[in-house]
Each structure stands twice: as C-alpha cells, then as structure tokens.
Structure 1
Amino acid sequence: AVNLLKSAVFFSRNSPAHIKSRVCAVMNGISCHRSTKYLGLPLGIGRSMKEVFSYLVEAVKMKLQGWKSKLLSSA
C-alpha cells in the first residue's frame, strides 16, 4: 500500500493539463510543486541550478567562516 500522506507527484512543464488532473484525482489531489524538497534538496531544479542551490552555497560559506574563526582564535 502507498502512504498518500508521504507521497507526491512531480510533473514536468510539458505534461498536459488533463493528465495532471487525472493523476491528481487518482491520488486524491496530491501533487508536487517546484519548491518541494526531498532530503533537504529541491526536487524541481529546472534549468537554473545556480539559483536553486544558492542557499546551499551560502550555508557552506557560513560554516567555513565559523570554522576559520575557531581555528584562528585557538592559535
């Protein structure tokens, strides 16, 4: 059995509207939006990977700054 509370469907931009509506009707209206994440990463990347992963780059930069300050202060 499929747990519909934990399930989602992702449609490409090229998917016909009637197919989307039929699939959503079968799955009780469950669909997936571009902002949906799985394991912390976005599902609908699209063409602009730089834009999608910019938050991840910023998070890594912040971590590096914290590590650098800890290493410099202990010397």
Structure 2
Amino acid sequence: MCRCFSTLITKAANGNLIHGDRICRSAPRVSHLFLADDSILFAKDSTLECSTIANIISIYERASSQNVNLSKTEVFFSKKVCSSRRQEIIDILGVREVERHEKYLRLPTIIGRSKKAIFVGLKERLLKKLQ
C-alpha cells in the first residue's frame, strides 16, 4: 500500500509539483512520512500543490481499490496562511482543518524553542523502561 503512494508522492516532489518542508535551512526537504497506518504529507500552501496531492490520492484510490477516509483526514496550517487560502485548500482536499495536535504517538507534534522541557517526559519513560 505505502510503496505505491510513496512513489507517487516522490515522483511529484522530484518533478517540483510539491515541495515538502525542512526542519532547518540546510536539511533536505521531506514530502511525506508514514507511521504505522498513518500518512503525513508536507506541502506549500498553494492551491496547485494541494490539487496535486488530491490528484495523487485519486490515482492511488483507483490503482489500489482502496479509499482514503477523508472524514479521518485533517490539514494543519502554519500561522502565516490566511483564512481565505485555508478555505480554498480545505475545499480542494475535501478535509477538515485541525487547529493543533497535542501529541501523536505520545510525542508532541509542535516543538518550540524549549526542547528540554518538551522531551523530559520521553527521557523519563525511556529511563524507566531501561531499568
């Protein structure tokens, strides 16, 4: 399942149809991550990139005879995306907007400058398991 979907996304990224994101300026771009049965896609806030993602999902559904459950699919925007652009993208993708994910797989989804405070719980859980 993931290999076909990943190939479609990678092909779009290599063709500069979607641009992904970076964790810092010198890092490579990441267009997608797969964790268990979840997919996380990264794209710019352009209607063209979002239309490309919608098209990839459609191709994948036709090729695999599986349907993406859009009622369980969410989009998260950076603070700089205006509300009209957000609505355009939501309409293109047919998904709902989520304001913020607190945690995913028991890890914080948004990390600010204070990484030490964020990862104290993770460090404690790891130490507990090692003991």
Query: What TM-score do you get using the length of structure 2 for normalisation?
Result: 0.36
Gaps of 5+ in 1: 68-75
Q: How does 1:1-75 map to 2 (within 5 A)?
A: 1=61, 2-24=68-90, 27-37=94-104, 39-64=105-130, 67=131
Which structure shows the bigger proportion of residues in strand conformation? 2
Which letter does structure 1 place at the counterpart of 2:85? I
Two-structure CA RMSD over aligned residues (Å): 2.7
Gaps of 5+ in 2: 1-60, 62-67
* Cα-to-partner distance string for 1:16-70 (whole Å, 9 max, x where unaligned): 2332344345535342514141x44332223332232222112123223xx2xxx
- Mark the CA change 1:35 to 1:9 in structure 2 (over 3 Å): closer, same or farther: same
Paired residues in the alignment total 64
Which moves more between the two structures, 7-16 or 39-48? 39-48
Secondary structure in 2 matching 1:53: helix
Rounded Cα–Cα distance in structure 2 between residues aligned with 1:20 and 1:48: 28
Rounded Cα–Cα distance in structure 1 between residues aligned with 2:69 and 2:99: 15
Is this contact kept in 2: 1:8–1:32, CA < 8 A? no
Rounded Cα–Cα distance in structure 1 between residues aligned with 2:125 and 2:106: 12
- Mark the CA change 1:28 to 1:6 in structure 2 (over 3 Å): closer, same or farther: closer
Is this contact kept in 1: 2:74–2:95, CA < 8 A? no
Is this contact kept in 2: 1:34–1:45, CA < 8 A? no
